[in-house]
Each structure stands twice: as structure tokens, then as C-alpha cells.
Amino acid sequence: MSSSSYLFLIQICVFILCNCSTEARSSHNISLGSSLSPLGRQISWSSSSGDFAFGFLPVVEDGRATRRFLLAIWFDKTDPKTVVWSAEVNPSATGEATLELKTDGRLVLTDAQNRILWNSSGVSDDVSHAAMLDDGNFVLAGPDGSPRWQSFQHPTDTLLPGQSLLPGNKLRSMETDLLQLHRRFELLLEANGSDLALYAINTLSGSSYGFYWSVNTSTIATQLCFQQSGLRLNLMNESVISITSPSPETERDMYQRATIGDDGVFRHYAHPKNNATMGWKTVAFFPEGICKAEFTYGSGICGFNSYCIMNEDKVDCKCPPRYSYFDPNRTFGGCKQDFRMQSCEVDESSMFELMPMPNVDWPLAGYDHFWPVQEEKCKEWCSLDCLCAAVIFWNSTGDCWKKRHPMSNGMSGGFVNRTAYIKIPKGEGGGGGSSLAGVATSWGYVMPQIVVPNAK
């Protein structure tokens, strides 16, 4: 089958199996030449139901709105408003930006100097109007009402009921600071339709560290389809793989969304339509054991020197004793030491101690391995080694692993049947006088993030 025939067949399957919107039916059509501005008289365009809006939302940092703005689509009746799509703009737009629906049908975001920050790509020249639809899809429509461009075909981190993910397309976790976007995780339906998988991503290059959850279809998948009853993977042979199961929450009058979070977990959410402040409830999520994921390179699910704990559907990234977050508001960014490392120039072994941390490990930070050994001997060898940041001991086998900085792939839980001993200065004040006073070491790999208006 040719690639063009394959794509045509996929498009047919999307129409039939997912029942996605195909026409821009709205009483709030947006005329060519219309525009929005973050600080202007009109900052957004609403759907006819008022459930969704498209326009500008302020970027929030440390709980406060900034003078930077996201060009986004959001649930407009939830409190706080919940983003479901955003344009990739580096950096985010300022108050002087303008979004205009040009007379040639292009949707263009420009800054104060009229430089293009973002535009709708691949739009034909017969666009007659735009519309924010009641299903959350923003479309540029032709004279017959059919889409020439639509946000549903350019998802960011979220799927809405009626929306699908086609082979080769992905959802990427939404993390942003005032200067750039950071995408640490993605959900990808392989271009050949063979696998649906979650990947950890290098934020600088965009390359993959590897997958940590997957569904092998054993045949060709045509789409990941999100319906009111949940997520399902539709296959070419007309069979279906259910990714999430129906729930009582999906049968009520609910807003729904499926979002990949900045912790790498993909969640199906529901929110009562008649209660704006009730908040989003997790209906289903995967993977359940994300803290068990290990990658040869990178920090792992949490940042360097931190470790991952799963509490129900929530991932917490914790710092070891005498370590602290690079930024307390961005706990996935890793941890730094609040003390100077043990010197290798002089013997400072007596100035440090090893604090036990049951059921904690950094599996891939090891540089030396002994077995079988006694626990006290394992700890002694780390104490005498100026390069040893921690040591892991497995009581049942007598295995002993020395760990170096930075420590990666940190994990904690009952499945980790080992004990970590973290090396820290003796005593609350450092135990070694001014030479060990709290000197924070900068490693240069912090991954800054900020909170955007996307309730979890």
C-alpha cells in the first residue's frame, strides 16, 4: 500500500471511528481581519456554549501572573481556567503581541516589532472565517464550513473527547518558563502504527532517552481515539485496544480531557460542568509504576540527585537529607547539596556520616560494586572514598554499590528492597567548621519550569 493510500485510509477511520467534528458550525464565526491582543479590548474568542475560549492567558510563575502570555485554548468555565492547547512560542508573547486572522486566511501572532512569533501552517487560500467550536476545536474554515486548519490536528499536551492522535503524531508535556519551552515527556503513536509509547525526552536536543511505557499493537494502529467512555486504540483490522476503561465519572455531565503531565504520567480527567470550583478528578492514569523507569542517560523521571515516589496517581520528587531543590516551586528540576563535598586533598572522612534511607536507590549512578560484603564494611568503604556520594546495600545478597554525583534515576518504594546511605556532614551545622559551611554546588543541569494555568 502506498503511503498516500495509507494516510487516506487513516483519515477515513478517524471520521468513522472517532466521530470527530468536520464542520465549523458556530453562531460565533470570526471574520477575516479580526484580531486579539493580551492587553486590548478583546483578548479571546469564545465558543457558542461558552465552555471554551481561544486567545491569551497570562503565564503564571510562583503563583503570580506575569507580563508574558500564552496563546492558548482553555476550558473557560472551570476555576482556574484549564489550558488544553497552546501555540509553541519561544519566548512566550508579551502584552504588546497581536493575533490576527489575515484576509488571506492565515492566523498570525506578531510582536511589537511586527515579527512573526507563530502562524497556522499549511492553510489554503480559501478560508472564509474562523470559529471556536463547542468541542474545544479551533478551526479556520472554508466557505462550505469544512476545516482548512484545526487545533485538533495539532495537539500539544491534551486530547479532548472526539479528538484523535494519528500515527506519527505526539502529545508533549507542557513545561515553560519565561524564555523557552521544556518538553520532558511525550506520548507517541509510531508512524508505522506499531506502538503507542511514552518517552522521556532531552529538553535541549529533543532526542529520546527511551520509552518507559508502551502498547504493542501486533498490527497497524490507525489512531488513538478519545471518546466520552475513555481512550482506545483503533487497529487496521477493525479491532480495538482499550487503554482506559469506562468510569461512572464519564457517564455524567462532565468536562473531560486526557493530558500528559510534567511528571510523565498520562491522565484521563473529569470535571463537573455544574461546579466550576470542584476541580479535576483523575478517572484513569498510566503508567502506574513510573518511578521504576530507568534510563541510561539523563536524570530519570525526577531531576538529578532527587528520587521519585508515587502517591496514588501523583509523582513526588524528593531531596535527600541536607539537599534542597534548585527551585522549591519546580520540584522536577533536581536537588543540590547544601554543603561542600568531601575533599580529596585531605582526609575529611571523620567529618562526614552516612544517613540511612530505606527503600531508596539511584540505580544507574554506580561506579563500583562489591559482593558479598557485610553492611558495615560497605559503609566504611564509602566513608573512606572522597568520591562516594552514597552507597546502596542489598541485605539479602550482600551487594554493595558506590554512587557518584550527580545521582540519577532516583526511586523509592516498597519495590526497592535496598537501603541507601547518603553521605552528609556530621552535625546540624556541618560538623566541620567553616570549611563545610553550607556552600550550594551548582551543577548546571537544572531544568527550569513554571506553572501554567492548567489544573491537574
Question: DSSP code of 378?
Answer: H
- pLDDT for residue 312: 84
Q: What is the per-residue burial (b if ≥16 Cβ within 10 Å, else e) of 175-210?
A: bbbeeebbbbbbbbbbeebbebbbbbbeeeeeeebe
How far from the centroid of its chain's Cα atoms is residue 374's Cα?
A: 42
Q: Per the structure block, which three cell numbers stand in for 239?
A: 479491532
Q: How far apart are CA 124 and CA 121, in angstroms?
A: 9
State the cell numbers at 318: 524528593
Q: How would you class 112 by CB atoms within 10 Å of its CB: exposed for 0-12, middle for 13-18, buried for 19 or more? A: exposed
The pLDDT, as a whole number, for residue 441 is 34
Cβ-in-10-Å burial (0-12, 13-18, 19+) of 436 comes to buried
- pTM given for the model: 0.86
Structure letter (DSSP) for residue 156: S
**DSSP label of 283:** E
Sequential pLDDT tens for the chain (456 residues)? 333 333 333 343 443 446 544 454 545 899 999 999 999 999 999 999 999 999 999 987 777 778 889 999 999 999 999 999 999 887 788 899 999 999 999 999 999 999 999 999 878 779 999 999 999 999 999 999 999 999 999 999 999 999 999 999 999 998 765 555 668 999 999 999 889 999 999 988 889 999 999 998 878 999 999 988 889 999 988 899 999 887 777 767 899 999 999 999 999 999 999 988 889 999 999 999 999 999 999 999 999 999 999 988 899 999 999 999 998 988 999 999 999 999 999 999 999 999 999 999 999 889 999 999 999 999 999 999 999 999 999 999 999 999 999 999 999 999 999 999 999 999 854 333 333 333 333 333 333 332 333 433
Distance CA 204, CA 202 (A): 6
Residue owning grid cell 548546571: 444
100 phi-psi bin (left φ>0, alpha ψ -120 to 50, beta other): beta
At residue 226's C-alpha, the angle toward residues 233 and 131, to 5°, is 135
Question: The C-alpha cell of 14 is what?
Answer: 478517524
What's the grid cell of residue 134?
463547542
pLDDT of residue 428: 53
Residue 453 pLDDT: 37
Structure-block grid coordinates of residue 98: 497581536
pLDDT at 176: 61
Alpha helix (H) residue ranges in 14-131: none
The pLDDT of residue 7 is 35
CB 191 within 8 A of CB 168: yes
Domains of the chain, with CATH numbers?
A: 1-20+162-301 (no CATH), 24-153 (2.90.10.10), 313-436 (3.50.4.10)
The SS3 assignment for 291 reads: helix
Which pLDDT score, from 0 to 100, does residue 180 have?
54
In angstroms, rounded to a whole number, what is the distance separating the alpha carbons of residues 226 and 341? 50
CB 370 within 8 A of CB 332: no
Q: Which three cell numbers stand for residue 236?
A: 487496521
